[in-house]
């Protein structure tokens, strides 16, 4: 069992040290990490989902995943990069789940046919899902974050624990793969 530490002691402790202590069973260390990252995690999810409810769900899922993965944490790696990589994976999972769930709204109706979805719209949606599904989770995250959500390469690089150049190359390759898949489907 860890000796009790004062709040001041943990405030000066690195995130990596706190996570190592938590992985070894110190729940006070987790409380400190939670307080350091709770607002950043929620803001991260809110920016990417544009929905307070979905952001809250992902936020809760993140801390559950952190708890489950605590034994796999490598203290030589930046805690923030590890934390936000898990957060990014949750966002990708959410986008994939969302892309498989048809959204029905008035704008989706095919006027004159009475059908909810036009054949062209269904085909376009299936094509997009197939093309994006062929990318790795990391490629999908980079592509959607940079091209759809407008997140900068430096922020993406930090979250993935990669260099900005590596992220730019990944985005370029993913864009090329999407482009060639889309053109191949014509």
Note whether 137 and 92 are within 8 A (CB): yes
With respect to residue 93, please indicate whether it lies within any of the assigned structural domains. Answer: yes
pLDDT confidence of 177, banded at 50, 70, 90?
Answer: confident
pLDDT band at 8; cut points 50, 70, 90 = low
Residue 100: give the domain boundaries.
38-184
Residue 109: is its pLDDT beyond 50? no
User: Could you tell me if residue 145 is inside a domain?
Assistant: yes
Residue 29 belongs to a domain: no
| Element holding 25 (H helix, E strand) | none
Q: How far apart are CA 156 and CA 23, in angstroms?
A: 26
CATH number of the domain encompassing residue 93: 1.20.140
Query: What would the 3-class secondary structure string for 53-76 be?
Result: HHHHHHHHHHHHHHHHHHHHCCCC
Identify whether 51 is part of a domain: yes
Ranking 11-25, 68-82, 98-112, 160-174 by mean pLDDT, the lowest is 98-112
Is residue 10 assigned to a domain? no
- Residue partners of 44: CB distance under 8 A and separation at least 6: 84, 87
Burial class (CB in 10 A: 0-12, 13-18, 19+), 59: buried
Residue 141 lies in a domain: yes
Pick from 109, 106, 175, 107: which is nearest to 145 by CA?
A: 175
Q: Assess if residue 22 is contained within a domain.
A: no
- Give pTM, 2 decimals: 0.55
pLDDT per residue as tens digits for the range 129-143: 677 777 777 887 788
Tens digits of residue pLDDT in 22-61: 999 999 999 999 999 999 999 989 888 888 999 999 999 9
**How many separate domains does the chain show?**
1
The pLDDT, as a whole number, for residue 110 is 44
Question: Please, what sign has the CA dihedral across residues 61, 147, 139, 33?
Answer: negative
The structure tokens listed for 107 are 């704008």
Is residue 14 assigned to a domain? no
């Amino acid at each position: 069992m860890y000796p009790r530490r004062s709040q001041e002691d943990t405030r000066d402790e690195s995130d990596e040290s706190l996570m190592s202590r938590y992985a070894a069973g110190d729940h006070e260390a987790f409380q400190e990490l939670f307080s350091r990252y709770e607002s950043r995690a929620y803001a991260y999810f809110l920016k990417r989902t544009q929905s307070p409810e979905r952001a809250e769900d992902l936020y809760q899922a993140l801390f559950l995943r952190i708890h489950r993965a605590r034994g796999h944490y490598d203290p030589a790696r930046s805690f923030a990069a590890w934390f936000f990589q898990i957060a990014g994976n949750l966002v990708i999972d959410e986008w994939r789940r969302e892309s498989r769930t048809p959204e029905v709204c008035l704008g989706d109706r095919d006027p004159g046919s009475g059908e909810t979805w036009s054949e062209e719209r269904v085909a376009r949606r299936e094509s997009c899902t197939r093309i994006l599904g062929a990318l790795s989770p990391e490629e999908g995250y980079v592509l959607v974050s940079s091209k759809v959500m407008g997140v900068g390469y430096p922020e993406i690089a930090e979250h993935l624990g990669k260099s900005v150049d590596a992220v730019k190359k990944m985005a370029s390759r993913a864009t090329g793969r999407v482009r060639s898949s889309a053109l191949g489907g014509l």
